[in-house]
Amino acid sequence: MRMTNLAATVVVTTVLLATSATPKPHLREVAEIDDNMLWVALAVEISDECDEIRPRTLKGLAFLNSLRSRAKALGYSRDEIKAYVDSSAEKDRMRGRGEAYVKSKGLDPAQSDDLCSLGHAEIAARSQIGVLLKAK
């Protein structure tokens, strides 16, 4: 009996050490966080560039807070989350993802009219982007 308990303790300890030694992926690699940050970034860009559309600020803040809570639940620290959100490289990468998304819809991300068209389409579709926006 004594050996069995010792063996079980060794196995549990080994599993715990292996689990804690496994590094978490960077937040950009966590789709449920990164993809939702893309939708927020696109909603902000659309509301900034299109006079016909405004942001739903409280919904946006609540959504961002839910993403932060989810990241914390996944084991990311406040500092890791802040580093991801504040990173210039991440902002540039997100801008590239946003431009690619707009282009995938056959639109030009540099054209305000195209961003307005996208915004109206997203609002009509009640997509995650659309629920963060409101037509004036």
- The pLDDT assigned to 5 comes to 52
**Which amino acid does the sequence have at 107?**
L
Average pLDDT in the 5-11 region? 49
In the predicted structure, residue 7 carries a pLDDT above the cut 60: no
pTM of the prediction? 0.81
The partner residues of 54 in beta bridges, in order of sequence, read: 134
- Residue-level pLDDT at 23: 84
Handedness of CA 29, 31, 32, 38 (dihedral sign): positive
Per-residue pLDDT, averaged over 84-110, amounts to 96
- Chain-wide mean pLDDT for the chain? 89
Give the CB-side neighbour count of residue 21, counting CA atoms within 13 A: 6
Give pLDDT, residue 75: 96
Q: Residue 62: its pLDDT value, please?
A: 97
Q: Does the pLDDT value for residue 93 go beyond 70?
A: yes
Q: Which residues contact 36 (CB under 8 A, 6 or more apart)?
A: 63, 67, 128
Q: What is the largest CA-CA distance in the chain?
A: 75
> How far, CA to CA in Å, does 77 sit from each of 31, 40, 95?
18, 21, 24
**Residue-wise pLDDT tens digits, 13-63:** 444 444 445 689 999 999 999 999 999 999 999 999 999 999 999 999 999
For the chain, the structural domain boundaries read: 25-135
